[in-house]
Amino acid sequence: MKDREYRLASAARGGLLFMHNVPGVALGDRVQVHDHAGRIRNGQVIRSSLESVLIQVFEGTEHLDLERTWVRFLEQPFELALSPEILGRVFNGVGLPRDARPPLVSGLRRNVNGAPVNPAARAYPREFVQTGISAIDGLDSLVRGQKLPIFSGSGLPHNRLAAQIVRQAKLPNEESGFAVVFAAMGVSHTDARMFQEDFESSGVLSKVVMFLNLADDPAIERLILPRAALTAAEYLAFDLDMHVLVIMTDMTHYAEALREVATAKGDVPSRKGYPGYLYSDLAELYERAGRIKGRHGSITLIPVVSMPSDDITHPIPDLTGYITEGQIVLSRDLYNQGIYPPVAVPPSLSRLMKDGVGKEYTREDHPRVANQLYASYARALEVRNLASIIGAEELGEADRAFLKFAESFERNFVAQGENEERNILDTLDLAWRQLSLLPRDALARVSEADLDKYHTPISHQP
């Protein structure tokens, strides 16, 4: 039953091709669609019955007739060819070269859908990754094998932040740095070039695999692109023992493509027209990050989600937040005040931080300092709110200290240069300089010993 070719699809619309009287086609199989101009498009079987077959065409169903279109069933699942040569290469969503170099030849091919990792095979991620960014390292530390998204909004510098993380991310006690898998879905040419130049100038390009689907490329290809990218990441991490950092930008474009196909298929919509299986679908991607027992490599995943209308309750960031291990939220407010990176501290969180910092990985006081900064900043924001109503002059002395703290915390701790790299000890010392703006008895989250060691009231500071 190899390579059967059929003509006369019964319908073509919304990226879907409906075929009749094609018996015995397996679900998930790869197809090639030859259009009237001789161009080959890639597709996949997403529903199959005795009478009909439904095909999702990654290049879309524009400029397609039914009479001259031939569909070839390849009798194999969607696979990606893998070899160490993928490093330094640029591919499109279905794994074909985009860099004018020949396709990869390799006997090793893997199904892009992967298979679920057995929870009993996972190792708990707990090694601190230093990004050199105080707001992340100090407050929401990233650990190796974590999935930590950046929740952003249109026009905010999420891609610049992601690029800075790629440049600076370091694994303490590891000789080699990260290999990078970069999955771009619907990003602009400008952003894609920014990343490319950034990788080049920082010298990591030879350790980057790029999967590119730009804003003017077919939208449906975005459905398979992250799967191909994660298949490459799994190969690098678990076959070649590398630590892999995967940047996926922008998940919102991915989810929109999913909605487009779901609507065309007639799936029952749940919230905002997104299909009910958006959660499971996103989880299939995000859960491919992690560490595995007895393997040296790891996959650390940083998806970028631009929140439509800055709404964190929108289904895409909302469902993402339920799957990922925390989130870094960017704030338009801080950005407008000229603060880069504009990390909104209160809603940001790293769930795996508790086991990845402290004496063994960073410094003994780290978890308590982070907790204290959060609590003090929350209090300071309340005071700032109050000051905007009754005026700062009306505040008591203690409250004024909090106002000063908030200001300094945002300007000196959260804000930093795009090329500024702070090591974790500097970040913690900087944190204590902010906390020292507050009186000792306002700091209940740190221990007495921490206070004795690190708290330097203003009058004692040089």
Partner 1 sequence: MGEILEINGPIVRVRLPQVLTGEQVRVGALKLTGEVIGREGDDAIVQVYEVTDGLRPGDPVEPMGHPLSVELGPGLLGQIFDGVQRPLYTLYDLSGDHIARGLAVDALNREKAWTFEPNAALANGTAILPGSVLGTVQETAHILHHILVPPDIGGTLLELAPAGDYTLEQPVAHIQDEQGHTHKLKLYHRWPVRTPRPYQHRDHASAPLITGQRVLDTFFPLLKGGKAAVPGPFGAGKTVVQHQISRWSNAEIVVFVGCGERGNELVDILESFPKLTDPHTGRSLMERTVLVANTSNMPVVAREASVYVGVTLAEYFRDQGYDVVMVADSTSRWAEALREVSGRLGQMPVEEGYPAYLGSRLAAFYERAGRVEALSGKLGSVTLIGAVSPPGGDFSEPVTSHTKEIVQTFWALSKELADARHYPSVDWTESFSGYVGTAAQWWSENVDVQWEGLRGIALGLLTQAEELARIVNLVGPEALSPAQRWALEGSTLIKEGILQQSALDEIDSYCSPQKQFALLQLLLTIYAQGQKLLALGVPVQRLLSLPLLARARRYKTLHGNDDLARLNANALEIQVAFDALRAEYTKPGSAAK
What is the per-residue binding string for partner 1 in 58-87, x denoting contact by CB under 8 A? -------------------x----------
**Residue that the structure tokens 């704030």 belong to:** 331
Contact 58, 42 (CB under 8 A): yes
Q: How many of the chain's residues bind partner 1 (CB under 8 A)?
A: 78
267 binds partner 1, rule: CB under 8 A: yes
Which of 47, 72, 363, 384 binds partner 1 (CB under 8 A)? It is: 47
Q: Is 348 exposed, middle or buried (0-12, 13-18, 19+ CB in 10 A)?
A: buried
Element (H, E) at 12: strand 9-13
The residue type at 340: Y
Residues 285-304 that bind partner 1 (CB under 8 A): 286-288, 290, 292, 295
Q: Is residue 2 near partner 1 by the rule CB under 8 A? A: no
Specify the amino acid at residue 178: F
Nearer to partner 1, 368 or 404 (CB): 368
Question: Minimum distance between the CB of residue 117 and partner 1, rounded to whole angstroms?
Answer: 6
Amino acid (one-letter) located at 204 = V
Closest CA to 358 of 428, 301, 297: 428
Q: Find the shortest distance in angstroms from Cβ 432 to partner 1.
A: 18
Q: Does 349 bind partner 1 (CB under 8 A)?
A: yes
- Regarding 309 and contact with partner 1 (CB under 8 A), the answer is no
The separation between CA 80 and the C-alpha centre of its own chain, rounded to angstroms, equals: 21
Q: Does residue 49 belong to the site contacting partner 1 (CB under 8 A)?
A: yes
Query: Which is nearer to partner 1, 41 or 291 (by Cβ)?
Result: 291
Range list of β-strands (E), 254-308? 290-292, 298-306
Near partner 1 by CB under 8 A, which window of 59-67, 346-354, 401-409, 422-430? Answer: 346-354
- The nearest distance, CB 345 to partner 1, in angstroms, is 9
Task: Classify residue 51 as exposed, middle or buried by CB count within 10 Å of its CB (0-12, 13-18, 19+).
Answer: exposed
Cβ at position 458, least distance to partner 1 in Å: 20
CB of 214 to partner 1, least distance (A): 28
| Residues forming beta bridges with residue 301, ordered by sequence position | 147, 246
Which of the residues 397 through 456 are near partner 1 (CB under 8 A)?
Answer: 441, 444-445
- Alpha-carbon Rg for the chain, nearest whole angstrom, is 25
Cβ proximity of 291 and 125 under 8 Å: yes
Q: Is 449 left (phi over 0), alpha (psi -120 to 50) or beta?
A: alpha
Which of 6, 157, 277, 455 is in the footprint of partner 1 by CB under 8 A? 277
- The region of 21-29, 100-108, 165-173, 427-435 touching partner 1 under the rule CB under 8 A is 21-29
Residue 165 CB contacts under 8 Å (≥ 6 apart), including other chains: 131, 133, 136, 245, 247, 302
For residue 441, count other CB atoms closer than 10 A to its CB: 8
**Using the rule CB under 8 A, is 322 a contact of partner 1?**
yes
Using rule CB under 8 A, residue 319 touches partner 1: yes
Residue 48 contacts partner 1 per CB under 8 A: yes
Tokens of 373: 């900064």
Four-CA torsion 387, 389, 390, 396, nearest 10 degrees: -30
Which residue stretch of 182-190, 213-221, 375-383, 406-414 sits at the interface with partner 1 (rule: CB under 8 A)? 375-383
Which of residues 296, 347, 429, 457 is near partner 1 by CB under 8 A? 347
Closest CA to 243 of 350, 170, 303: 170
Does 280 engage in binding with partner 1 (CB under 8 A)?
Answer: yes
333 counts as binding partner 1 under rule CB under 8 A: no
Cβ atoms 377, 99 nearer than 8 A: no
What amino acid is encoded at 430 in this protein?
L
**Six token digits for residue 350:** 């790293």
Site for partner 1 in 125-154 (CB under 8 A): 125
CB of 191 to partner 1, least distance (A): 27
Nearer to partner 1, 313 or 461 (CB): 313
**Among the candidate windows 60-68, 85-93, 194-202, 374-382, which touches partner 1 by CB under 8 A?**
374-382
User: Looking up tokens 């291990």, which residue turns up?
Assistant: 325
Q: By CB under 8 A, is residue 308 in contact with partner 1?
A: no
H-type alpha helices, 266-314: 278-286
Minimum distance, C-beta of residue 112 to partner 1, in the bound complex (Å): 11
**Which residues from 95-124 bind partner 1, rule CB under 8 A?**
111, 113-124
Among 96, 108, 378, 425, binds partner 1 (CB under 8 A): 378
Lay out the site mask for partner 1 across 24-43 (x = CB under 8 A, - = otherwise): xxxxxx--------------
Residue 181 tokens, joined:
């898998």
Cα distances (angstroms) measured from residue 358 to each of 59, 163, 365, 368, 452: 49, 27, 6, 9, 18
Using the rule CB under 8 A, give the single segment among 79-87, 154-162, 209-217, 313-321 that binds partner 1.
Answer: 313-321
Inter-residue contact 7 to 69 (CB < 8 Å): yes
Q: Report residue 270 as tokens.
A: 């749940």
Of 313, 393, 417, 452, the residue at the interface with partner 1 (CB under 8 A) is 313
